[in-house]
Chains A and B, each alone.
Chain A
Amino acid sequence: MKALCWQGVNELSVEQVPDPAILNSQDAIVKVTASTTCGSDLHLLGGYIPAMRAGDVIGHEFIGEIVDVGPEANRRRVGERVVVCSVIGCGRCWACSHDEWSLCENSNPNPGVTDLMWGGTTAGIFGYSHAMGGFRGSHAEYVRVPFVDYNAFPVPEGISDLDALFASDAAPTGWMGAELGGVKPGDVVAVWGCGGVGQMAARAAMLLGAERVIAIDRYPERLAMTARRVGCEVVDYTSTDVTAELRERTGGRGPDVCVEAVGMEADGTGIERVYDALKQRLRLEQDRPIAVREAIHACRKGGSVFVLGVFAGLVDKFPLGALMNKGLTLRGAQQHGQRYIPKILDRIAKGDLSTAYLATHTMTLDEGPKGYDLFKHKKDGCVRAVFRPWA
């Protein structure tokens, strides 16, 4: 079958690879009908997740049709149109049974890597390196879905493929940031990053009752899209001091909840940008935490900061003093998607949540390398490139 493969730093190609197979009795094979780029793929592409092998199939946010199921998959059936959570859960360990699916204790066959890096084993993720289990990604004609009963969700009729697609990752990730960040009715919420996840976090905050939501980015087209489609306030960080701007808009307090949806390759302005870029380039610091630092400084005393952006290792100049003395709560997680996907599909069906507009560029799988070039460099207003393997 055809698949989009990582070949080295900033190098992708479409290759013929062996078809996936049912390896466990609770697996299914899904024929991928749409699979999208995600900002976290850029960390793989840039070589910041050092557990990729040449030839690995990437992609983790997808929908498709079940074409085969293992003998012990009881709930899912051949022919169902399903959205699949990017994070794989077994559904029965303590973490999964407490709705903390990205902490699953049974879905990562390579537990030693994340344990060495983080002191704990995390869930497997499709197409996200051998540290996350070595599962093939979804930028392919077919993909194997382990523990399919827990990870694939039937898409109700009336919801389009492109709307359902983002229920795989962007929408539940954003929802988790707002919900676990503790957004309550009347809150002021600031979201760093107007990519797919940031926009979904902003929309989720509004649906959870936030009185004001302010999204921060630097790309004019993303800011305009967020203002128009999400309906929140926006701030261009290249033309203002974000912390001062947020104070001015919140009666001097700062936002109640700050959601960081940028990750390890955050950009910034001034000396801080040069400092982090240089340290990361020299491998003296693994991740650039510019947006996290800013969120901690901007947050109101006693407020909450949620880290949604992907980080892999160590950061420098972390403002622990501000965190401690301001009495902040800091949380983060890979998405616990299974907890939110049914709710999100329901919200989409009711018209509360719109996601398809994030797909600014739809193309064939053969155009994968071009799609990532558009996405990485934000060319032509690209927010998400979506690949249709069977188009």
Chain B
Amino acid sequence: MKRLIAGAAVLVAAGLGTARWAASRGRRPAVAKDPLESSRWLGITINRSPDEVAPGGHLPDPLARADAEVRMNRAPGDRGTEIYARPREHRAGIGGLLARPRGDDARTAVRTALRETKCLLETGDVLRSDEEIGTTRPTVTGRVLDMALGRAAEGGRL
């Protein structure tokens, strides 16, 4: 009985999917990606005053070492300091597309520098995960997860 219900549900789902696909044919595709993605400022808010974030106008590490344009201002509502950064060089085309899988994406480097700068200024440290002393073992599904998690430290809203 359980199999019968599951089978019927799969058929219904497949039918709905097909109908939806058919209904969407001929429609103009929506813009899936942000056209300004490669040039947008990456912003982060640090719970410290501008004087603490950049005393004497000197940017803190690791942001200071990043090859990036940087601007900053006091955040509204007593939220500290907003820092914005973006790579000086905007890579377009196939080079830009391949940069991330190759691990040399300039935006990823700036994003990581912003996040670590925030952690250092607010807590004095960049927190490390227990994953460094592993208890896990390799599995097939684990590999898929590893691929997704491989980039997890670089992502995230700033």
Contact = CB atoms under 8 A, between A and B. Distances in A.
Query: Do A and B come together as binding partners?
Result: yes
Interface of A: 3, 5, 8, 15, 17-18, 20-21, 23-26, 50-57, 72, 90-94, 97, 105-116, 119-121, 124, 130-131, 133-136, 144, 146-147, 278, 281-282, 284
B130 A20 contact: yes
B134 A55 contact: yes
Given A18-B135, A23-B128, A54-B142, A113 B152 contact: yes
Contacts of A146: 127
B8 to A, nearest CB: 10
Given A26-B125, A54-B142, A112 B153 contact: yes
Contacts of B142: 53-54
Contacts of A94: 45, 47, 79-80
A18 B133 contact: yes
B124 interface: yes
A58 B62 CA distance: 34
A116 B45 contact: no
A97 B48 CA distance: 12
Given A56-B136, A113-B148, A113-B149, 5 more contacts: A53-B142, A55-B135, A111-B152, A112-B151, A284-B13
Contact of A114 (B124, B154, B156): B156
B115 interface: yes
B131 A93 contact: no
A141 to B, nearest CB: 13
Chain A interface, DSSP helix/strand/loop, else mixed? loop
A134 B151 CA distance: 14
Contacts, number: 135
B137 interface: yes
B135 A3 contact: yes
Contacts of B122: 90, 92-93, 105-106
Contacts of B148: 113
Closest 3 A-B residue pairs measured CB to CB? Answer: A112-B155, A111-B156, A55-B136
Contacts of B13: 282, 284
B128 A115 contact: no
Interface of B: 5-6, 9-10, 13, 45, 47, 79-80, 115, 118-119, 122-139, 142, 145-146, 148-149, 151-157
B109 to A, nearest CB: 15
Given A94-B47, A112-B151, A51 B131 contact: no
**Most chain A beta carbons < 10 A, residue from B115, B124, B130, B142:** B130
Contact of A116 (B79, B132, B146, B155): B155
A147 B129 contact: no
B90 to A, nearest CB: 22
B6 A282 contact: yes
A52 B130 CA distance: 14
B136 A119 contact: no
Given A57-B135, A130-B145, A147-B127, A111 B115 contact: yes
17 contacts: A25-B124, A51-B145, A51-B149, A53-B139, A53-B145, A54-B137, A55-B134, A90-B123, A93-B47, A108-B156, A110-B152, A111-B155, A113-B152, A116-B155, A134-B131, A278-B9, A282-B9
B111 to A, nearest CB: 10
Contacts of B80: 94
